[in-house]
A and B are shown apart, each in its own frame.
Chain A
């Protein structure tokens, strides 16, 4: 065991333990770390958005960078003033909208932030309408349109030596996919009472959903545990140096 000599690692270790201390009970150290986290992450976004979005996309394109003497390249404003059309001048509107968004800080004129909000909501709505239709409706429809039994796969089966997955995929796979998807949809069909055959289909559907949830529960557990492992490895490895 040889402790890490890096100051940063010690800080990280302290913070890691500080957060974890909440498991025992809420305490000032946890509160401190949480407050720190909130502040740092907000600041992180603040800075990276300036340098990676506002600066290159807005200030450079418009030429504000040049006005402030921070850059040489002409922006839209310089060009337009020089009398040559530059379609980047549209970014002025983007800038104004952005400003309106920030005005929400002041309650009395906060309503103005609805304009940029409208652009945001409008774009996402327009895109969602198309993309979800294409990728989550049409493509999935296409992939549900499959023969109930896949003769190709059946033919490809290695006689006798096949694995469980191979046999299942060949004989039942498509059937499960089709039945599961369709009955699941029946369960989500609201304008008809779930009675008789329709009701039974819905029942089958809900069982498929439950298996699905089981699967994603298993995966979530997997995920959460990995994160813990990562942290512990940091503590025991990078910090305390028990493991390499």
Chain B
């Protein structure tokens, strides 16, 4: 039989939700442009009074120090972008390299004022590999007036494609600067010493140095170096930037970018998916808490450990021995401690009914206070207030191992028939569980501390694992707020997770060959 509610719900999880999620996910930033394999760049040689043009390109695979030989690179030049290009020189394998993976060439046979286009081509096993066309470049002769840089045998090329923009998704006072790194910027290249970032309020300057960064790209995916300027940037004010590359005494500056203005944003784009999914979770939790409050019966599956509680207490009664209850070793501000106390309420009720002696050693004064209230109330509800006295709940010490040693002693001396460990534990868990086990007590443990679970699982008869602890406290207390949020977590959290995961996994597995799975996974990226 079909229930419209169910159909709607499943429709939501299977179709609508994935669709929405898919639609709102954030977009990647701008890529830097490059022209592999050569990525040829050309500049007017800095510091050359005669005026010349310098070329730089990346060496093709196989052209490296370890190789014995490699075909020559042919340098082609033209006055117009579309050509025709004629050969003006070659760079042979033996020619010293600019950097381990790049080559340079200087063309002095140029007339200042004209503009030129360049290409590089190379004959690799039969087929000629041609580069992008770099240009137009106009060679500029530096006049004696300017401070002349020495013309090095290797020329430093500047960072390019400089972009400055208001840093997104922040509360202002910050501007991001991105650029494509200089071709001389090779990994841990001994001579390359990073970039200087300069800033001014007016394009013509004066510019002040506001920061420096090391070489290398910060975002390999987009092939850019990123610098965020947070040095007392004022919102609404105009800024101009340029970036210098530093290399073995030479300096090569990028062009100036700007004006750019910092500002603050009202919504963090890229956190849309988070907002939607979190919204669903919060909604369903609150929704079900409401339902529970309005008296609707919410189902919780049986939890093995809990079935055993009655039996364990009963056993203690038969043997005429005590029941020990350890509500963790953390303070009241820990959720697990609170869960532990809720379970204590139930246990105390049983011990009251069975007239079994209960002892609750604790390691925090606050916990002692709360625990006393809890136990007292249970005994009251069980109609046995006369059996309750404050000494059932007592404080040992705050010190982790001191506490463990204390409980150890008690357990060994009094040999309780049943021991409960419910709450947050650290290293002491092992000491406790082992001692309890050694006197053959029935032990029922519960904690959400992953590192301690193994000891409980192995040394105790029953263990509430992680979330089961919280579930148990809801199950026992029947408190609407707990029941409701448990159900809410199931529907708004796990069901969402399961359905989204399954749907996207299926799609990705099927579409894997078409190579769009990467894009699909990005949907859930956190920002």
A residues sitting closer than 8 Å to B (CB atoms) are 22, 26, 34, 37-38, 117, 120-121, 129, 133-135, 137-139, 141-142, 144-149, 151, 178, 181-182, 185-186, 188-194, 209-210, 213-214, 216-217, 220
Task: Flag if A194 contacts B301 (CB, 8 Å).
Answer: yes
CB distance from A148 to the nearest CB of B (A): 5
Q: Which residues of B contact A133 (CB under 8 A)?
A: 274, 277-278, 281
Interface segment out of the listed B154-162, B320-328, B372-380, B508-516? B508-516
- On chain B, the residues within 8 Å of A37 by CB distance are 399
Q: Which residues of A contact B525 (CB under 8 A)?
A: 142
B451 near A148: Cβ-Cβ < 8 Å: no
Asked if residues A38 and B402 are in contact (CB atoms below 8 Å), the reply is yes
* A contact residues around B29 at 8 Å (CB): none
A138-B524, A191-B490, A220-B451 in contact; A147/B399 too (CB < 8 A)? no
B468 CB within 8 Å of chain A: yes
Contacts of A149 in B (CB 8 A): 509
B405–A138 contact, CB under 8 A? no
Report Cα–Cα, A117/B332, bound state, in Å.
11
Specify which chain A residues have a CB less than 8 angstroms from the CB of B77 in the assembled complex.
none
Given contacts A210-B457, A216-B454, contact A147 B497 (CB under 8 A): no
Tell me the smallest distance from the CB of B394 to a CB of chain A, in Å.
18
Q: What are 5 residue pairs bridging A and B, where the CB atoms are less than 8 Å apart in the complex?
A: A141-B500, A185-B494, A194-B301, A213-B458, A217-B458
With contacts defined as CB atoms under 8 Å apart, how many contacts are there between chain A and chain B in the complex? 123
Q: Assuming the A-B contacts A34-B399, A190-B490, A191-B301, are A141 and B524 also in contact, with contact meaning beta carbons closer than 8 angstroms in the complex?
A: yes
In the complex, the 7 A-B pairs of residues with the closest C-beta atoms, listed nearest first: A142-B524, A217-B454, A213-B454, A145-B504, A147-B509, A191-B490, A147-B512
Kindly list chain B residues whose C-beta atoms are within 8 Å of the C-beta of A213. 453-454, 457-458
Which chain A residues lie closer than 8 Å to B424 at the CB level?
none
B109 CB to nearest A CB, Å = 49
Contact flags (1/0) for B386-405 with A, using CB distance below 8 Å?
00000000000101011001
Residue B466 at the chain A interface, CB threshold 8 Å: yes
A20 to B9: give the CA distance in the assembly, Å.
Answer: 61
Q: A147-B517, A213-B457, A214-B454 are known contacts. Are A138 and B274 too (CB-CB below 8 A)? A: yes
B520 to chain A: closest residue by CB:
A145
Q: Give the complex CA separation of A182 and B274 in angstroms.
A: 20
Q: Which B residues fall within an 8 A CB radius of A?
A: 273-274, 277-278, 281, 298-303, 333, 397, 399, 401-402, 405, 409, 430, 450-451, 453-455, 457-458, 465-468, 471, 486-487, 490-491, 493-494, 497-498, 500-502, 504-505, 508-509, 512-513, 517, 520-521, 523-526
Inter-chain pairs besides A145-B524, A186-B498, 18 sampled, C-beta below 8 Å: A38-B397, A138-B526, A139-B524, A141-B524, A142-B525, A148-B509, A151-B512, A182-B498, A188-B466, A189-B301, A189-B490, A190-B301, A190-B471, A192-B299, A193-B302, A213-B454, A214-B454, A217-B454
In the assembled complex, the Cα of A192 lies from the Cα of B300 at a distance in Å of: 7
With contacts A146-B521, A209-B465 taken as known, whether A192 is within 8 angstroms of B301 at the C-beta atoms is yes
Q: Residue A146 contacts which of B467, B502, B505 (CB distance < 8 angstroms)? A: B505
Cβ of B301 and Cβ of A120 under 8 Å apart?
A: no
Q: Tell me which of A120, A144, A151 contacts B333 (CB under 8 A).
A: A120
Write out the residue numbers on chain A whose beta carbons fall within 8 Å of the beta carbon of B402: 34, 38
Residues of A within 8 A of B333 (CB): 117, 120-121
Contact residues in A for B468 (Cβ distance below 8 Å):
188
In the assembled complex, the CB of B372 is this many whole angstroms from the nearest CB of chain A, namely: 15
A214 to B451, CA, bound (A): 10
